[in-house]
């Protein structure tokens, strides 16, 4: 699991606070909390806020506007992820024998399989600043839409095209997916919640600065 540091930078000048662009966004930044697949706060998450490139934030605002008309708000679990946070994931996979969160996030997989099957990468698109993990919040019920599996449940049930869920759950996934595609985002094949801006501004650059509004505004 060699980690390439040749294209990593600390410069946050192209980034914004997502809440400045999408005031109605709900944020539950899981890697700031301990409720994640490792069970600890992840390195680099200094505040529970979502940061994105300006371009991705603008595109997500158009998604939010469309979803609001349909009665939904966006709920974000992760956005920009520092390269150091990804190293935290990698080192956990290699060295750490702790599997206390396995029943909740990867019940049918080994830690090694999380990397082999692409659920965790040695370098993440999140660190390029234009990738978002999100779901939809139904304003009429006050709950997240039922997507058939929760965020960061690693397994085939979380693949966007998985059909052994209810028709309603699958339809909910498609509401989110189709809205994201319409506004310039691309999905991946193993996580229904994960999207990257197709024309991302930094396709070959990975960022190291912390998730911190204070750092962004320095």
Give CA–CA dist 205/60, Å, rounded.
Answer: 21
Q: At what angle do helices 54-69 and 167-182 cross, to 10 degrees?
A: 130
Closest CA to 60 of 171, 136, 169, 127: 136
- Greatest alpha-carbon span in the chain: 48
Q: Is 116 a catalytic residue?
A: no
Q: Where are the alpha helices (DSSP H) in 83-205?
A: 83-95, 102-105, 111-116, 167-182
Contact 59, 170 (CB under 8 A): no
For residue 72, the cross-strand partners are 138
Using only C-alpha atoms, the chain has a radius of gyration, in whole angstroms, of 17
Residue 179: name the closest of 60, 17, 55 by CA: 60
Q: Which among 28, 144, 191, 200 is annotated as catalytic?
A: 191
Distance CA(90)–CA(159), nearest Å, equals 22
- The C-alpha atoms of residue 12 and residue 147 are separated, in whole angstroms, by 33
* Residues with catalytic function: 191
């Amino acid at each position: 699991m060699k980690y390439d540091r040749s294209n990593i930078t600390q410069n946050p000048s192209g980034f914004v606070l997502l809440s400045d662009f999408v005031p109605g966004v709900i944020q539950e930044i899981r890697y700031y909390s301990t409720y994640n697949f490792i069970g600890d706060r992840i390195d680099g998450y200094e505040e529970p806020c979502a940061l994105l490139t300006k371009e991705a934030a603008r595109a997500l605002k158009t998604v939010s506007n469309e979803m609001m008309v349909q009665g939904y708000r966006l709920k974000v679990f992760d956005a920009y992820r520092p390269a150091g946070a990804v190293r935290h994931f990698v080192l956990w996979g290699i060295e750490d024998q702790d599997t206390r969160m396995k029943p909740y996030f990867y019940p049918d997989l080994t830690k090694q399989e999380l990397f082999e099957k692409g659920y965790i990468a040695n370098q993440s698109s999140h660190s390029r600043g234009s990738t978002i993990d999100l779901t939809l919040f139904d304003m009429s019920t006050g709950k997240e839409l039922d997507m058939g599996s929760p965020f960061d449940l690693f397994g085939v049930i979380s693949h966007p095209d998985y059909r052994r869920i209810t028709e309603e759950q699958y339809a909910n996934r498609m509401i989110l997916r189709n809205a994201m595609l319409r506004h310039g985002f691309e999905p991946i094949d193993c996580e229904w919640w994960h999207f990257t801006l197709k024309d991302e501004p930094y396709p070959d650059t990975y960022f190291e600065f912390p998730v911190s509004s204070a750092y962004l505004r320095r």
